[in-house]
Structure 1
Amino acid sequence: MQVKLLPTREQASALEATLHACNRAATYASAVAFVKDLTDRNGLQKEVYTDLKATFGLSAQPAVRAVKKVVDAYATLKANLRAGNLGPPTSRRYRKAVSTPIAFRPEAAQPFDDRCLSWQYDARTVSIWTVDGRMKWLRFACSPNQLKMLGAHRRGESDLVQRGGTWFLIATCDVPDPEVRDPVDWIGVDRGIVNLATTSDGINHQGRRLSRYRRWQARKRAELQAKQTRSATRRLAHRTQKERRHATQVNHTISKEIVSVAQRTGRGIAVEALDGIRERVRLRGDQRGILSSWPFHQLGQHLAYKARRAGVPFLEVDAAYTSQRCPRCGHTERANRPARDHFRCRRCGLAGPADVVAGVNVRNRARSAWVFVTAPAPSP
């Protein structure tokens, strides 16, 4: 849960100084961990705890949180190396990652637990530790629903974040999932580039407006990159964040509408499993940028968590040939889809919008998959 902080000028200065001090301390602890090969929390804390308090002005609990942040960062790096996310061991990116200690940006997020951060929900204020002492009555803004969820489900740490001069607290909320009901049927969702989402009901969420917006942003980025000035670089970063927020909002709107329809009609939601599509699909040069910025994965994530929160069943099914298979006779052929927007079965003559047909195929596969998932296990 993200809430916006409303600090005064003096409070903002104290928060900025605190964030910088905590990240300098974390960078120092990271260098010690790298040199002495300390990967466990207790061993690193014994080594740097005194220095973090004496040199960087941290009190006991913020020093512990800084050590924990360093240990978690190295654990994440190790997992990425093992998974191959940084390339093979011979790659430049891999060698750089293992040859230098992790450094933390001055504005990197800093976790606070209940010993150094407390919430006053009725007053909509927080009390937080800073390098200038305990800061009380720091106001925050959120919706009534967010406030209700914070009071009922907030647990554990909250991260202090600064973005573009605005301060936020990101609180962890442990919300129990409602019981998933048995669906009466399924809504198949076909995700695409031109049409971001098309359901088996024939509802089409077009992506043309988003595509035009992104093409316009790409032109502006090219103009700024040509200037090669520091102010142009700052503007580029601002535009990138703005474009990401816009795409996220579009995905939130689409997923919220689909989940509300499924909840109202008692159906589940099924989507294609599109993991690894960028590696499987070969495109022309002018199409690669479109695919790399295509927010299909985020849309699937939004559908999954919104469905889980609403108690709606959610399934990912095999994506193979969903746009080429006839849902009536089962005939599968590339010629069944003569154009991007049109489907016509070469065997039985079934015709219709290609994305709707793909959504129907996704729905049919979900019906079969759900029967298999809910089938009782054979007795020994």
Structure 2
Amino acid sequence: MKLMVQVRLLPTPLQAAALEATLRACNEAAAWASEVAFERGVRRNFALREHTYGQIKARWGLGAQAAQHVIKKTCDAYATVKANLRAGNLGRPGSKRYRRATERPVVFRPYGAQPYDDRMLSWQIAERRVSIWTTAGRIKDVGFTASLEQLATLALYRKGESDLVCRNGMWFLNATCEVPEAPANTDPVDFLGIDLGIVNIATTSDGEIMAGREINRVRVRERALRSKLQKKNTPSAKRRLKKRRLKEARRARDINHKIAKHVVAEAERTGRGIALEDLTGIRERVRLRKPQRATHSSWAFAQLGQFIAYKARKAGVPVVHVDPAYTSRTCAECGYIDKANRVSQARFACRNCGVVAHADRNSSRNIRARAWELWRRGAPSTAPAPPPRQRDGAGRKRSTTASDARCANPTL
């Protein structure tokens, strides 16, 4: 499987200036190639190369490999736009987003990522140095820093292209690695159910609650600080906002990695699979009150699911996605379903058998049971389709409300 290993470069001021000039030249050339591709309707690599290759080398001083990567990057951008249009990710034909994507050429940011192959970039992993091509010539002995685990992965499995990235004045290389997968566990003894939620980010069917109220308090404090700085609207407040703008995203990514690593390690140790709810499209299916929107949208549950999936694939642990409907209303002991079973956010009390349990733990047990039943029947992972957009009495389209969506995701 392919994994991306990110290392941070430590260039000197002169080296950083050369790297910056290189990124700007490559992206200016890509923007020009995009205009040519749009005007002439040429979106394929070899066809676009005939129209742009020579001028890119002469006008921006790029080498042969760099010019080819610029052209390929342009074609890949148009292929991505085409795929998004087909999938409906850019709205319906005639909508503002659809017209914006089809009526103008693709634009590249001045510091957009630039791919490098082994002819343009060589690694000295033991010395933590790279030699990289720039428009000012090849720069040798550019230092980089990485963890021991990253260095081992680079040394053993690095293969293919690497992307040069500049973010907030820092330089990174994203290296592609072909990491072998462990043999898949085709006969798990059971499943470890994972319930995802707002108050408790993840709760396992073993009863373990991870990243709960303490993380939410930090998120509320950060949100309040952002609001105060935005109201100030002074130059110093804007500088602080810019410095902190990615802090919450980094924290969420770090916690998601830790949760995913712990869950996969526990499933691998006990010979079990992992059961997850499929919450695809939940934000489109639910309409919340204004105070709830920031809380509901501030955690990357899709990212957590992706982290669990790739770490499980690497470890050979099977992952099953199940229909989340009524998992928080169903009693894990007797199977009785009733809205009144969910007494509060944290408390579950069955109206039929009288069992009392933590609501998220009860939900995770139901998720585990559904995954085990699917696996025993040999059925694939299943998830409900997003409900169709309905029309109200005036003929207007009506989004699904929060009360309507509880059937699709009762954990809300």
TM range (shorter): over 0.9
Post-superposition offset of 1:157: 0.7
Once the 2 structures are TM-superposed, how far is the Cα of residue 33 of structure 1 from its aligned partner?
0.8
**Which amino acid is the alignment partner of residue 25 of structure 1?**
A
Partner of 1:338, secondary structure, is: coil
1:273-331: CA deviations, max 9, x gaps? 11111122332221122112222111111111111112222111111111111122211
Q: In the alignment, which of 339, 344, 354 is matched to residue 349 of structure 1?
A: 354
Structure 1 counterpart of 2:318, which letter? Answer: P
> How far 1:170 sits from its partner (Å)?
0.2
- Among residues 224, 237, 251, which one is paired with 1:219 in the alignment? 224
CA distance in 2, matches of 1:318, 1:104: 40
Separation (CA, whole Å) in 2 of partners of 1:289 and 1:145: 35
Partners of 2:176 and 2:358 in 1: how far apart? 43
Go from structure 1 to structure 2 and tell me whether the alpha carbon gap of 1:352 and 1:264 turns closer, same or farther (over 3 Å shift). same
SS at match of 1:118: strand
Amino acid at match of 2:372: R
> What is the letter of the counterpart of residue 103 of structure 1?
V
For 2:223, give the aligned amino acid: A
Counting only pairs closer than 5 Å after superposition, residues 186-335 of structure 1 correspond to structure 2 as: 186-228=191-233, 232-335=237-340
Counterparts in 2 of 1:12 and 1:222: CA distance versus 1, 3 Å:
same
Cα deviation, residue 367, structure 1: 0.9
Which deviates further from its counterpart, 164-173 or 201-210? 201-210
Aligned residue type for 1:345: C
- Partner deviation per Cα, 1:112-140 (whole Å, 9 max, x = no partner): 01111111222221111100111112121
Residue 132 of structure 1 corresponds to 136
Q: Does residue 1:180 correspond to 2:184, yes or no?
A: yes
In structure 2, what residue type is equivalent to 1:34?
F
In structure 1, the gaps of 5 or more residues are 376-380
Gap regions ≥5 residues in structure 2: 381-412
Between stretches 54-63 and 255-264, larger displacement belongs to 255-264
Q: Does residue 149 of the first structure (1) align with residue 153 of the second (2)?
A: yes
Q: Partners in 2 of 1:336 and 1:348 — Cα distance?
A: 11
More helix per residue: 1
| Equivalent residue letter for 2:119 | R
Deviation at 1:19, TM superposition (A): 0.7
In structure 1, how many angstroms separate the alpha carbons of the residues matched to 2:141 and 2:223? 43
Query: Residue 84 of structure 1: which of 85, 88, 94 is its match?
Result: 88
> 1:57-99, CA deviations, whole angstroms, 9 ceiling, x for partnerless residues?
1010000000001000111111112222122223222222222
Alpha-carbon distance in structure 1 between the residues aligned to 2:153 and 2:83: 32
Equivalent in the alignment of 2:109: 105
Moved more, 8-17 or 282-291: 282-291
Q: C-alpha separation between the residues in 2 aligned to 1:71 and 1:43?
A: 10
Of 120, 127, 142, the residue aligned with 1:123 is 127
Q: Which moved more, 1:87-96 or 1:243-252?
A: 87-96
Contact 1:217 1:239 in 2 (8 A): no
C-alpha distance in 2 between matches for 1:208 and 1:360: 21
Match of 1:378 in 2: none
On the 8 A contact 1:27/1:104 being kept in 2, the answer is yes
Q: In the TM superposition, what whole-angstrom CA distance separates every residue of 1:236-275 from its partner, at most 9, and x where no partner exists?
A: 3432211100111111121222222112222111111111
Deviates more, 1:342-351 or 1:22-31: 342-351
SS at match of 1:115: coil
> Which runs of 4 or more aligned residues in structure 1 lie more than 6 Å from their structure 2 counterparts after TM superposition?
none
- SS of residue matched to 1:114: coil
Q: Which amino acid aligns with 2:262?
A: E
Give the TM-score of the pair, scaled to structure 2: 0.87
Whichever residue aligns with residue 129 of structure 1, its letter is: W
Q: Does 1:359 align with 2:364?
A: yes
How far off is 1:341 after superposition?
A: 0.9
In the TM superposition, residue 234 of structure 1 has moved relative to its aligned partner by 4.9
Cα distance change of structure 1 residues 188 and 210 upon mapping to structure 2, 3 Å threshold? same
Q: What SS does the corresponding residue of 1:168 show, helix, strand or coil?
A: strand
Identity %: 54
Residue matched to 1:40: 44
Please give the TM-score of this superposition, normalised by the length of structure 1: 0.94
CA distance in structure 2 between the partners assigned to 1:299 and 1:7 by the alignment: 33
Cα distance in 2 for partners of 1:229, 1:35 equals 43
Give the partner amino acid of 2:89.
N
SS of 2:189 mapped into structure 1 = coil
2:7 and 2:144 in contact (8 A); partners too: yes
1:210/1:247 contact within 8 Å kept: no
CA–CA distance in structure 1, aligned partners of residues 227 and 379 of structure 2: 52
Does structure 1 conserve the Cα–Cα contact (< 8 Å) formed by 2:252 and 2:299? Answer: no
